[in-house]
Amino acid sequence: MNRRTDSRPHPEPVEGRGRALIALTALMLMASPTRAEAPLQLRLADVGRFASFVDLGSVEWTGRVAKLRVLQVTEGGFTAGAEEYWGGWRHEVIDCDARTIAHAAFSSIRAGGREGPLMGEQRPAGPIAPGGADAATAKVVCDGWKPYATTPVVTSVSQAVTVGRPLIESGAEP
């Protein structure tokens, strides 16, 4: 064993296990579940059968094509099988110039916030029908429309459920 007997600092190059320890620490910090995630930015876009919230933080642009997700909140007491659901995430691709939408996938959200697996594949793009949730989503994303001016942008799925469900019941209009 090679033991140092003096207390002077001794700069040594990081080698072998030292490099591995640094690399492992860096990986652990990057994968740490305690790392703060950006809060959601959910803007209410439409109320109908669902309350649809555009996740503004999820929008990724390639030219004038936006890839994003939309939270669909269900009415209170919505169940499938024996489980209650809050709604789910629709993943969409919107071509703002062509005014088309391609539904890409869906992930359910059970009561309490547990998200199901992302399912489905991107379907071919089709024209956005006027007057529905897809049209409202496109107006928010492509045109910067801010419907429901008195409804704040919410930062969690549970807040969206709390805000959206009474609006579904009342049939709120923008």
CATH number of the domain enclosing 100: 2.40.128.710
Region 111-125 average pLDDT = 94
Q: What percent of the chain has pLDDT over 90?
A: 74
Domain hosting 163: range is: 42-170
Residue 159 is assigned to a structural domain of this protein: yes
98 in any annotated domain? yes
Number of structural domains in the chain: 1
Report pLDDT for 43.
98
The two beta strands, 79-80 and 83-95, are antiparallel
Three-state secondary-structure class, residue 27: helix
Instruction: State pLDDT tens for residues 60-91.
Output: 999 999 999 999 999 999 999 999 999 999 99
The reply to whether 27 falls in a domain is no
CA angle 164, 143, 128 (to 5 degrees): 75
Please tell me the pTM assigned to this model.
Answer: 0.78
Q: How large is the greatest C-alpha to C-alpha distance in the chain, in angstroms?
A: 81
